[in-house]
Structure 1
Amino acid sequence: MAPPQQYPLPPIVSNLADVYTSYVYPLLPGPLQSVSAGVASVLSSGIAAATSGDLVSLAAFVVVLYLTLKIADYVRRSVVAWVVFVVKIAVVLALVNAAFYVNSVGVQKALGDAEWLVNWLWSFVEDKVLNGAGTDNKTGPFAYYGGGRQQVPISRGKSKWT
């Protein structure tokens, strides 16, 4: 049996593929390169099936793609549901813990502690957000000198041993 005939890609697609592999792909981080390689293999098999005229292969590709997307959606919804469940359990446990705390120390002390906690959180937010803390020349906001991270000297500087 003869091997299946490979049809060349349209010129614009091959030009875009060359530009992508020459300029964009080398600049991608490692995980994105692996995702790109996986997507490229799926797209190449889809393009090959669509251009070869083999309707059975194209139909199988569409069915597999549909089932893959359905499974991915199911997994995404399952993970989100578990995360929401864990957050709800944490909130319920925090409320039960707060109820036991109020029962053990009394309402007045619990209100005083809650007031202290709210004041502490408010002072933290006021210090970090409202007063613009962290805008010095080492850890400035993203649009300014520091770029939001600790700066590293560009040159080696003077040797400490001489």
Structure 2
Amino acid sequence: MDMLPENLQTLLTHPTVTYITTKTQDQVTTHLSNLRETYIQPYIITPLSTLLTSSTTSAMPDLVQLLILAIILFISLKVLDYARRVIMFWVMLAFRLVFWGSLLGMGLYVYRVGVENAGRDLGWLWGVVQGFVEDFQARATNNGSESGWNGAGAKKGYSRW
């Protein structure tokens, strides 16, 4: 602490900073002890201690069995990782195909109907989406006090009933 500049030393010795650090340390200690008591002790430490302190030699696994178990665990994790990567490849391929297909479809639509009609259709679609968003916001602010579906979207010229 002697190596720090004087203004930092006074800041670090301020009562507020010391209170926050002690409270944070207390909270971290509480959370870690809760984690140890809830998960680590019953699921890791207790089974390992019973495995390692078994008194009979027939129940105690030898080093070869533990090594084979570790190898099986390693191979199964590798296979699961490979399966995850294969599944993610196909999912991402499907998303890319849908994205580029929709982009190509929109381009083809604009090419066929023209830019002006496509802009008009886009404006109509934007109005529909905006009406749904306003209706959702109106129902969210009312918190269900208003019955029915007619909300802010009914002002735009359409109603759900």
Q: TM-score, normalization: structure 2?
A: 0.50
Task: Select the structure that is richer in helix.
Answer: 2
TM score, norm. by length of structure 1: 0.49
